[in-house]
Structure 1
Amino acid sequence: MDSRPQDNERLAIAFGDLRAAGLRRVAEPDPDEPRRRAYRRLRNRSVAPAVAVALLGLAGAVTLAGRGVPTPPPAGTGDATSGFPSAWPGTGSAVPTPTWSPSPASTPTTGTPTPSTPATPSPEPTSRTPRPSAPPTAPPTAPSATSTAYVDLSVSAPRAVTLVPGGGAYTGWLDFTVTNGGTRAYDSNDLVVVLPVEATVDLDGTGLGGCFHQGQDDDTKTMFCTGDRRIPVGGSRSYRIGVRVDIAPGGQTRTLTSFALTVRANVQGSFPTDRTPADNTVRTDLTLPAD
């Protein structure tokens, strides 16, 4: 008997069953199929970088034979010291982190740890290095608490001097002496001059001056005159100054009583207290005789 019709019938039945099964799958898809496909894609993405990292680590171990291999950073983090990102991918899924194991060839068998290089000390200052000089110390303007040195100047002059009329005014000379009775050194002798508003003084050739106008009222005016060099302890010095009063000669004798000289010790622009201040000032009357 010919078996071909039976074979064709069985083949038709098989195709029919296959078609029916395919239609059932289209009509009723497997609910687990998308999850399985997503899992397979995620596994492929995770395994591929891990394999690449393992190959890179093996190549580095061969290259760095004889040297210690540092422990790699944790997966998903960067190197905080170098600023470069980690070689591990950050996928956001829970992927097991491969454990790094150095190759046996990378572990040194012998050798001594290399000592760290000591810090270079700062160079010692040499004679060529400029050093700041200490500022000069100004001498004190007053003796120390244990010092017994003191300032004691005095001035003497005639009680009165008579001027000579002539040339529409009265003129003359006044001699005075300054004595240093103290024991403390100073810089110079300053002079304070108080005189009638009509009078002037001439200090040429005395070493005193210049003079600076300090004030004036209806009767008198005051001048401060820079001093002459200091007088040695126990010594004295005499001066002669010219005096002129701009009052026309004539009439009866007149006396001007407001002329005075005061001497003081100058120590770098300051004036220490004199031991006997009463004898630092002398007053002289200026007599204008009748013509």
Structure 2
Amino acid sequence: EMEVTAFISGTGSGNIRACYGEVIQLVSGGGTDYVWKPATYLDDPYSATPLANPIESIVYVVTVSGACGITDSTSVTIERFPPLEAKFTIDTTSGCSPLEVTFHDQSFGVREYYWDFGDGSPVDYWLSQDTVTSDTTFTHTFYNTTNDPTDTAQTYEIELLIKNINDCTDTLRRYVTVFPEVTANFDLIDMADTIGCHPLTLDFRNQSNNEDYYLWEFGDGGSSGNENPTHTFDNFGTIDSVYSVELVTTSSYFCRDTAWQDITVHSYLE
């Protein structure tokens, strides 16, 4: 008489409650030949130690054969928990700081959410009111905090970990890259020169941050791509002329910002 055994690897038991997607090692012994039925979801139904990954609860019966044609059978039971999936989309994967990203959560089978945005902000914990599906939209703002003079981009790993009522988990990660913020600013060598008489020649001094390219518009049709340009303003009229000087600065990541300053030029005197 054979002593046939069958159990779940790592448990010593013939019964297990398992999360969806968890691969389970079945183990049988006591003979030389093995046939597992049903063969569904098994990697090898003729192995003494097949791997099982059923999508539903199932009972596997193993028939074991030995010497002299002796056979015997036993079974194992797998109770499969319902599926869950961490799933979300984001409306952008890169942009200039500060970067507001819209999240659309589409996870299902969830009881608990743990959002880690990778930027040092506290882990955002949710308790779902609906364990079937979620359809939630929210935003989170990311900043480039490298403070690096070489204008280094910063990438954040976003992780969503979910749990169901059986403590099964699933995780999804996505990545967002944030480029350094460009801040446009300028002044004059002599700030008292914002008001003056025709012809008024001014020396502009760029005070921007994280910029690579410059476009100056002087409000009189003139422009410059220099970092610190000099420009002469004319007024051949009889009343004061006001010119709005605009500086647009752009980085190599195409982030940009704009600064303005009004210049008043008194009329021409003969």
Q: Same fold (TM over 0.5)?
A: no
Q: Comparing both chains, which one has the higher relative contact order based on Cα–Cα distances under 8 Å and sequence gaps of 6 or more?
A: 1
Q: Kindly indicate which of the two structures has a greater share of residues assigned to helix.
A: 1
Q: Kindly indicate which of the two structures has a greater share of residues assigned to strand.
A: 2
TM-score with structure 2 length normalisation? 0.29
TM-score with structure 1 length normalisation? 0.27
